[in-house]
Structures are given as structure tokens and as C-alpha cells.
Amino acid sequence: MKLMKQLLAMATIAFATAAQAAPAVEAPDVLVKRISQDVIDTAKNDKAIQAGDIKRVTELVESKILPYVDFQRMTALAAGRYWRDATPDQQKQLAAEFRTLLIYTYSGALSQIKNETVEFKPLRADPADTEVEVRSQVNVARGEPVPLNYRVAKTPSGWKIYDINVLGAWLVETYKSSFASEISKGGVDGLIKTLAAKNKALASRPAAKAK
């Protein structure tokens, strides 16, 4: 589980740097490769991140991650059929809490990144495709390489990631069952309250101990 969190952190925060330098048009695999390397280098060299400074990580994510990740689509997929029944305000709150949860849950793992490298596979896609899967593997110091794949969609503002696969498990699917369980007990508002409470608890402890 620790390894999965570490890899998910690398993937989730893989879009947190170099936003201002991004070309106007860039292939999805090139984009993911470039920024993934940037974030690994940043995590390795940033003393605050290595020390588990959640404030530093949160500031980095809030300022740089949004242009590259479609959190609303991520949330809609995780909420499933319940998303359509939610009001616009509920959708907004749910997406915000889910985004915060991902940041808090995986930011602590950034301090664990030491000698990992990422190797990307050739992109299997047609130039006209608007949704593609970018495949890669994380090479670790000990053990076999770990598959790490991204689902990316083309939007009017460029390519954006909306799901991540680590060790054969898609992030959205991982949360889908727990979201459905919470909604069945307390509705969408109940899920929002649960996520808000979880985020409050995670915010009160050091990033390295967030689980």
C-alpha cells in the first residue's frame, strides 16, 4: 500500500510543474513524459518536500496541477450515476473535496521519492483520437518495474488527465465503490461531509503520516 501511494503521488503530482513553459500544442505522451521527469527531479531536490512539508506540496499542486488534470471529470466518474442527480453546487463541492483528498492523501509520499525513474512506452493512438492511454513503468531500486498508466482526454484547453492506473488498478474505480457506499447512507451531501472530515483530519497531521 505504501508503494501504491508513492506511485500515485508521482502520477497525481506529475502535472504540478513546468506549466508556464508548456508549448501551445503538445502530444499527450510527450506532455506526460516531460512533466513527470520535472516532478521527480523537483521532489528529489526540494528540501521542504523531502521533509514532508504538506504546505509546500499543497501550494505547488494548487498553483500548477489544475491546468493538467480534469478533477471534475475524475469526480464525475468516481461518483458514477449519482453525479447526474447532484445539483451544480453539490458537484462543485464534491469535486473540490475530492481534489483536496487526493492532494493530502498522496502528498506525503512525495518525500519518499528517491531513486525512481519512469520509462514510457510507445503511444498507441491515432492522431485523430481525442482520448488516449499513455503507458509507462516506474523503475524502482529493488523489485520489478511497476506499470503506471494515464487516461488522457483532449479538451479545448489541451490534453488533461482524468484517471491513473497503478498496479492494474484505476484510481477512479478505487474510489467508486466507497463513494457509492457513502452516498447510499447519506446522499451526496453525506459524501461531501465525509470527505471534508477526512480532509480536516489529514490537514491536522504531518504529510509523511497521512494515510
- Position 167 scores a pLDDT of 81
pLDDT tens across 42-59, in order? Answer: 777 888 877 777 777 777
DSSP run (H or E) holding 5? helix 2-12
DSSP secondary structure of 75-96: HHHHHTTHHHHS-HHHHHHHHH
Q: For the stretch 97-121, what's the b/e string if a residue is b when 16 or more beta carbons lie within 10 angstroms of its beta carbon?
A: bbbbbbbbbbbbbbbbbeebebebe
pLDDT of residue 44: 79
Give residue 102's pLDDT.
Answer: 84
Question: pTM of the full predicted structure?
Answer: 0.79
The span from the CA of 192 to the CA of 196, in Å, is: 6
State the pairing for strand pair 131-139/146-155. antiparallel
d(CA 20, CA 17): 8
Helical H segments across 25-153, by residue range:
28-45, 47-50, 54-64, 71-79, 82-85, 88-107
Q: What is the pLDDT of residue 138?
A: 86
The pLDDT score that the predictor gives to residue 4 is 54
Low pLDDT (below 50) residues in the chain: 13-23, 208-211
